[in-house]
Structure 1
Amino acid sequence: MQLTKYKVCNFKSVRDSGWIECNDVTTLVGVNEAGKSNLLLALWKLNPVTGGEIDVLHDAPVSKLTDIRTTQETVPFVTASFEVSDGDMEAITTELGFRITPIKNIEVTRYFDGHYDVTYQDKFPDIVIEEDEDSEPENDDISDEDESSEAILEQSTLDKIVIKLLPKFVYYSNYGNLSTRLYLPHVTKWLKGETVEGIVKNHEQIRTINVLFKFVNLKPDEIRDLGRDPKDIVAARYGYSNRTNYQPTADDIQQAQKAKEERTILLQSAGNKLTREFADWWKQGNYKFRFDADGDYFTIWVSDEKRPDEVGLELRSTGLQWFISFFLIFLVESKYKHKDAILLLDEAGLTLHPKAQKDLCVFFNSLAKNNQIIHTTHSPFIVDTNNIDRCKVVYVDSEGYTVASANLRDSDDKLNEQSIYALHAALGLSVSDILLQGCKPIIVEGPSDQIYLTAIKQALIGAKKIAPKEDFIFMPSGGVKGISGVVSLLGGKQGKLPLVIVDSDKSGQDAKKKLSSGLYQDDKNSIIEIGNFKQIENAEIEDLIPLEYMEKGINKLFNDIDEDEETFEEFYESSKPLIPQIEQFAQNYSMELDKGWKVELAKSAKSRIVKAKEIESETLNLWKKLFDSFQTKDKKQR
């Protein structure tokens, strides 16, 4: 199942977060204390791989605790919407023993008492009656009721199967980083749930330690036992505390030697395994790990090709400590047992160097091929400016509650402006990248244009239609009026103006005239008009996208229209621009389109384009023609 959106309510600092749309990678951006972690923790407790117990005393908002603690069965704290795949439907069929009508989407809600509610899109599914094509009914008067299957589909049964198929959630924060040296007697107690006098429990770190020993496939007391001195073996055998009075036999010594050899080989094998598998993740260097046990101490040693001398993990960067600790959590909790787990990463990689933080964005995109990721950050280096549409701003509303919004301008006070600072800073950094690293800036009118063109770029590169020597960076200007300001910011040192893309509607035509008679009067070829590539009057960027990639987002806009009414697909005319038709269709049904609907439509289309296994050659050629013009205009400038 694919998580499409979720919302949190009645949980810690969150009264009602609002729906949070989820992509393959979703970034929650906000300042400290905005409540980002609470948005992850609630979702984790929907279906955690391990841990994640509901704790009403600490999970419910303090102001509502007295009410919630006595009505836990009626108070939900998280609702998530999932898209059901064909594979999920096959699994449901196997569990039921018969087929049902396809389920497209479900919503799962969890309550403070731990129980779930499942809601099915449109209506509860029906049993599919299997008919034998070769046989004919003996009596034409047999009613549908007589033909029904003997199978009975009870919602409680289907709900249990659906919940069983939900993806598991893995939560990880910086607080679970491993230490270099572990004292095994303490570890043994912690993993048994016991406390150690004088030491405060770090539950996150204990969880990581537990995962580490699962990876080694040994228990702390077993590691101690395998390394025991021969005299300890004799003392344990006879139960004497004074080990000096009893000498081990030759067999005792041989037994101890074999045990220590076994322990050395097992730890060496585990270290080699970690070294191999970690190399596929971490690209900041080739690291080698070695596990060692000496008496009651278990130590993690690290070396690399530049620094071959081994040192304890704790003496290496905190970034490496975070990465290795998270890697072990993911490896044990998700990769082997729950391949499709959804990863929830709280303030991921804040201890990494800024360059490594930027690499983390690339790593997330790679990891998301198999596992959806939702992560929080307040660092601009971890904001992927190529996928700014995947960011949600988290802030505190006027009543002190946590809210999440896809509107990156959704802020009306100083605290909220701080929440989106990381996004603005990230865009500023991308400008620096353009100026300092030789990227090609291309100014577009708005964020939806940026989203479409980024998706097209990724599709063309994936299809090997283009191999740009310098990356194309699409910079939204906030509308045609803002183009001049962005141009002044990005203008090259030798007076070279950046490319500008405008729609062929009235506002785009007016912007082109203004630029051509002013800033671009000596460089009119650097203004690219969409109408030159799509022969439709008043063409806009959306008209470069085939309807099949747009229809899911469009249908979402008109979900409330009755099934027996005309669909947009029936209303649509391919010879006319798309956006005015959407607006007209909404007007026909007296519907008001939500603010920012164009951006949401772009996000949906981008997701379909990026995930498409194959795109028609006619479409790819059209897109390639547009991107080739970027190079052509640049050559003319020179």
Structure 2
Amino acid sequence: MRLSRFRVRKFRNIIDTGEIDVDEAVTCLVGMNESGKTAVLSALHRLNPIDGESFDEQRDYPRWLLSRDRREGVISDASPISATFELEPEDRELLEAEVGAGVFTANEITVSRKYNTDATTWDIPRDTKRAVQNLLSGLELRKKTSDQFKDVSDLDGIEAICAQLVADETDKQHEKTSDEIATIREAIAALPGKDVWAVAVAVLKSRLPKFFYFSDYSQLDGRIDINDLAEKDEQVGSSADQTARALLRLASTTPAAMASSDYEDRKSELEAVGHELTSQVFEYWKQNDNLQVEFDVDRKIKQVNPQQHTIEKTYLDIRVKDTRHSFSNNFARRSSGFRWFFSFLAAFTEFESRKEPVVVLLDEPGLTLHARAQADFVRFINERLATAVQVLYTTHSPFMVETDRIDRVRIVEDGGPKTGATVTREALTVGEGSLFPLQAALGYDLAQHLFIGPSNLLVEGPSDYIYLDAISRALVDRGRTGLDDRWRVLPAGGASNIPAFVALMGRNLDVTVLVDSGTEGADRLQKAVDAARLERDRIIQVSEVTGRRHSDIEDLFEVEDYLSLYNEAFGTSVTAGDLGHGDRIVKRLTDLRGGSYDHYRPADVILRNPARLDGFSDATLDRFETLIKRINSSDR
């Protein structure tokens, strides 16, 4: 199962967050201090925690509502956390193996939990009558017998009919009926639950993801008692010792191997561990590549008598060698940022090999890291952690926000006692303080990659930029109107990113927005107008030129012109007659060819060979010229 969304209600400073959509890989919760980010993660963690954490009415219920709600007796009905999970193919296969196909009518289930209980509540859409039909149809029954169960609505109703049939002494084929009833009862007994709901819970309970919550993961000590480490067996994340154990697993060794009495064996193991960890850590730690991780073993000797002594303690010392300055010191004396990153890497590789489903929750990770090291840490999450588990993390650092993945960001804001903390992905609806990390992140990214001018044209993607630039030049060459030189064209990376870009740029920069018609981004831009972040006449939709409700920039081309680019880009020979009906040529091509659509490759044909425009029809050039004139006039 994969977490797809969740909702927190009546928990700490939260009344109702609203539905929080979760990215399939990484979700970033951004907000001010005390906005409720930690509360959101804490509530989600308690749904199915690895460490047994539970909700406590006295501790967790909103204090300003506690007395009133106790009097009204509503606390017992409150569900502080509910989460919806998408069933994966293996989940459905296991369910159908028990009750057959067509029983579970949706691809999602919802699990919730209440105060003062460890039990979870499962909401599983199901066709219980279909389960009865499936069970009976899989058995060798006479029609006369199976017809007796036609009104049974769930599996737990079968036994009552069985009992009636067995007790019916007027049945002339009573012996045959009894054999059939025995077969039915045997099939029912083989199920893991008494009804369809119980069967589903029995199958899915072990597949429900566990939630690991980390606010400040226990950092490694520079000196570790190996004997003590070998004896303990603790939960993941519960102590510095467990981090050390994960560290040794990362290096494919054990406490016993590190404590070997043979010097050569022990030294060989130590050097192998040091080499392995140095290569692992410094793949992501880029602040100082002159460091090497080294291990040594120290022993505390107890003198029994002048002729005899025993080893009382064996310690593993973690040391870091600085080759630039030619010295080494204990791990505990390195910078807090390096120690945190090193400990984090060791601990979280634990999840890469875990077979059970896991969702990792990180509360303000990497605060002691330099800005560039935070970027390295985000890379670690994407490349290593998120390939194995889903990750949700909170931050107020702009360097932990990926501007090319703004769709992963959810904004947490506390509206006070009346509304509590809420979570939204709509950057247009929150205050400036909540937006600041996004503004700072975008500002840094723009400063690194773009030159912002006095007149800025925001488009969906690089293909839009290529078409406008190339065709504008072709129009100018023909003595027609091209895009004014004052425009700086900024690709937003997709329609869904445009509203966020407008929210972060619109008040301070001169922005015109070009969007396809009928997209989610176009619809959401109305909120930017309502919030006075964008003038209405600065929104230009392609449909203004095509006259059709749904239009992409590709629809400015005559069909034959665009197909010539498409066929050259993809090595196909599609003709207009091959396409189905509809307004959008991209949609028609997707319906024909299937799969996702790469907008860039046809545009790249023009980028590499601008002379291709010479063969385009006047109708194509006329539409682009009309659009360009509209853009040129938008800021006057």
TM-score bin, normalised by smaller chain: 0.5 to 0.7
Asked if 2 retains the 8 angstrom alpha-carbon contact of 1:443 and 1:474, the reply is: no
Partner secondary structure for residue 10 of structure 1: strand
Aligned amino acid, residue 21 of structure 1: D
Please show how residues 178-257 of structure 1 align to structure 2 within 5 Å.
Answer: 178-182=220-224, 207-216=239-248
CA apart distance, 1:379 = 1.1
Q: Distance in 2 between matches of 1:543 and 1:138?
A: 62
Q: What do you get for the CA RMSD once the two structures are aligned?
A: 5.4
1:376 aligns with 2:394: yes
Asked if 2 retains the 8 angstrom alpha-carbon contact of 1:173 and 1:345, the reply is: yes
Q: Decide which of 143, 147, 160 is 2:147's aligned counterpart.
A: 143
Q: Decide which of 158, 171, 194 is 2:200's aligned counterpart.
A: 158
Q: Deviations over 1:203-246 (max 9, x none)?
A: 9985243232354379xxx979997xxxxxxxxxxxxxxxxxxx
Asked if 2 retains the 8 angstrom alpha-carbon contact of 1:319 and 1:353, the reply is: yes
CA apart distance, 1:362 = 3.8
List runs of 5+ in structure 1 lacking aligned partners. Answer: 194-202, 228-256, 455-469, 491-498, 509-526, 545-572, 579-604, 606-611
In the other structure, the counterpart of 2:93 is: 90
CA apart distance, 1:372 = 1.6
Q: Distance in 1 between matches of 2:508 and 2:138?
A: 71
Partner secondary structure for residue 420 of structure 1: helix
Sort the Cα spacing of 1:270 and 1:114 in 2 relative to 1 into closer, same or farther, 3 A.
farther
In the other structure, the counterpart of 1:352 is: 369
Q: Deviations over 1:544-594 (max 9, x none)?
A: 8xxxxxxxxxxxxxxxxxxxxxxxxxxxx952479xxxxxxxxxxxxxxxx
Asked if 1 retains the 8 angstrom alpha-carbon contact of 2:76 and 2:114, the reply is: yes
In the other structure, the counterpart of 2:425 is: 406
In the other structure, the counterpart of 1:336 is: 353
Partner secondary structure for residue 399 of structure 1: coil
Percent identical across equivalent pairs?
Answer: 24
Please show how residues 49-198 of structure 1 align to structure 2 within 5 Å.
Answer: 49-50=50-51, 52-63=53-64, 74-93=77-96, 96=98, 101-102=103-104, 103-112=106-115, 113-121=117-125, 126-127=130-131, 143=147, 145=149, 150-151=187-188, 153-174=195-216, 176-182=218-224
CA apart distance, 1:65 = 5.5
Asked if 1 retains the 8 angstrom alpha-carbon contact of 2:219 and 2:340, the reply is: yes
Please show how residues 477-488 of structure 1 align to structure 2 within 5 Å.
Answer: none
CA apart distance, 1:392 = 1.1
Asked if 2 retains the 8 angstrom alpha-carbon contact of 1:178 and 1:205, the reply is: no
Q: Decide which of 258, 262, 280 is 2:261's aligned counterpart.
A: 258
Q: Distance in 2 between matches of 1:83 and 1:12?
A: 28
List runs of 5+ in structure 2 lacking aligned partners. Answer: 153-157, 159-183, 189-193, 301-312, 466-488, 523-538, 556-579, 614-627, 629-636
Larger Rg: 2
In the other structure, the counterpart of 2:548 is: 537
Sort the Cα spacing of 1:109 and 1:538 in 2 relative to 1 into closer, same or farther, 3 A.
closer
CA apart distance, 1:29 = 0.5
Asked if 2 retains the 8 angstrom alpha-carbon contact of 1:536 and 1:575, the reply is: no
Partner secondary structure for residue 409 of structure 1: helix
Asked if 1 retains the 8 angstrom alpha-carbon contact of 2:207 and 2:356, the reply is: no
Sort the Cα spacing of 1:226 and 1:631 in 2 relative to 1 into closer, same or farther, 3 A.
closer
1:443 aligns with 2:457: yes
Q: Distance in 1 between matches of 2:245 and 2:505?
A: 59
Q: Distance in 1 between matches of 2:439 and 2:79?
A: 35
Asked if 1 retains the 8 angstrom alpha-carbon contact of 2:463 and 2:600, the reply is: no
Asked if 1 retains the 8 angstrom alpha-carbon contact of 2:517 and 2:549, the reply is: yes
Partner secondary structure for residue 310 of structure 1: strand
Q: Distance in 2 between matches of 1:312 and 1:397?
A: 47
Q: Distance in 1 between matches of 2:100 and 2:415?
A: 49
Sort the Cα spacing of 1:12 and 1:271 in 2 relative to 1 into closer, same or farther, 3 A.
farther
Q: Distance in 1 between matches of 2:394 and 2:425?
A: 14
CA apart distance, 1:21 = 0.6
Q: Deviations over 1:387-427 (max 9, x none)?
A: 2122111111131722211221223xxxx421111112222
CA apart distance, 1:85 = 0.8
Q: Deviations over 1:155-210 (max 9, x none)?
A: 23422332211122222233533343357899899x799xxxxxxxxx99852432
- Report the TM-score, using the length of structure 1 for normalisation: 0.60
Sort the Cα spacing of 1:270 and 1:618 in 2 relative to 1 into closer, same or farther, 3 A.
closer
1:364 aligns with 2:381: yes
Q: Larger deviation: 304-313 or 165-174?
A: 304-313
CA apart distance, 1:538 = 4.9
In the other structure, the counterpart of 1:249 is: none
CA apart distance, 1:134 = 13
